[in-house]
A and B are shown apart, each in its own frame.
Chain A
């Protein structure tokens, strides 16, 4: 026979443990971990700033950022929000607007604005950036903060070439601040639709897909040796999709990487995802000569259309390849020289012409090695 006397302390310990665990769980539920990770409030603005020509006008009293972050690692970035259909060519600069703030007229200050955040020892490191259309960090947090006031310094160089606006117009820029508390994963790029575009045109991207995208994420086509091509974001960026346009005027042909950058600077890249190509693929209409002997060096000519500088010409038969040395190219003709290996296979070879964008044309049984 058992009594309950001996069980009492044991059950009590268990209950205490359960209660403790439940308490910890309750704590986890009450700690704000999502939207409240970071909050910023922008206090103040600068209205009708009377610029002195011939100098850099500085204001460090009117705009203050108040930052609260439970994360110890956080950033605040700044960019020209380009709101109200601000003209793309005016990015980073104050542009003419009417009395109600609509961008009208053509006048723009000649120099972009600079925005600088202060350094608060042990709390945050401030930096100065020239305003642009991209997110640029002006504050890097070192510790959790609550309502930390950060007075910003706004610098606007004005020269006498910057015209006085009349008729109630003034220069205006809407500065957007993006706060980011780190802790999330980096963006991942998985695909893009369409996956190709014609050089010299503008392509509309209906879905740059992936994961972990954030509001104010940016995207570019990038490739070694070339300038980045920015995605002009249109529509709303979701965690899995971005939309926008790429301006491919002057863009180099070939395969480009696609990179997405989150406001905290984390990036995700998918290599060679986007193909920039010429409007049309090459075509072959004739080829001469039709044959050549082993070991011979032959001048060859290819006729057709759509040939581009940098075009490559080769002959293949099975695993055997003869690369031609191209000497002259027009859109309709290629002149080149080949050396037929003395041990190359005899018979019919395939001619392939490949432009430097990767588009190609082939003709079977084009050349006979005797």
Chain B
């Protein structure tokens, strides 16, 4: 009798064991977690001119307005400025800063010869920026546009109207010399 009880107990245990194996480990388990990521772009501005060099016709006795230069500004903050100055690379005679100056094709001519009137320039009125008044170019940056919002994808194109008065007293140059001025546009985030 005792032996039978023992056998029954063993069989019972084996059945529970098999049952436990079949039921227990198949349960799938999941767990979740989270993390928060925050950030902000650093302020940045990119300025691109659509042309690297252009030749404009200068008519004596005329104001000579020209609007072929386009400057593209991409700015990601809401406050920024676009300024212009005479690049002065060469180096250019400081006394000729802001003036179209005799250029041999490879260097500034010596002695310095320049037009009688300085170059003036004004940017166009575009959404997202305040158009500043026409500026007389010097070797110090002068603000042409004051941005009050970030530019949209692709940036904002500003048409630059150059204004170069030419008088009869301005000397005509022999080829290949030309009057030349290199604009330096600078974008600044505020």
Contacts and interface: CB of A to CB of B under 8 A. Distances in A.
A183 B3 CA distance: 40
Given A14-B7, A21-B14, A175-B35, A48 B40 contact: yes
Contacts of A15: 6
Interface of B: 2-3, 6-7, 9-10, 13-14, 16-17, 20-21, 24-46, 74-78, 150-154
A177 B33 contact: yes
Given A18-B10, A94-B37, A171-B39, A25 B20 contact: yes
Interface stretch (A35-43, A117-125, A247-255, A309-317): A35-43
Nearest to B41: A51
B150 A33 contact: no
Contacts of A171: 38-40
Given A11-B2, A178-B30, A214-B28, A51 B74 contact: no
Contacts of A25: 13, 16-17, 20
A288 B27 CA distance: 65
A166 B40 CA distance: 9
B28 A181 contact: yes
Nearest to B152: A161
Q: Give chain B's interface secondary structure class.
A: mixed
Contacts of A183: 25-29
Contacts of A161: 74, 76, 151-154
B75 to A, nearest CB: 7
A347 interface: no
Interface string A40-68: 11101111111111100100000101000
Given A25-B13, A52-B42, A163-B76, A113 B31 contact: no
Given A45-B37, A161-B152, A163-B76, A215 B32 contact: yes
Contacts of A113: 37
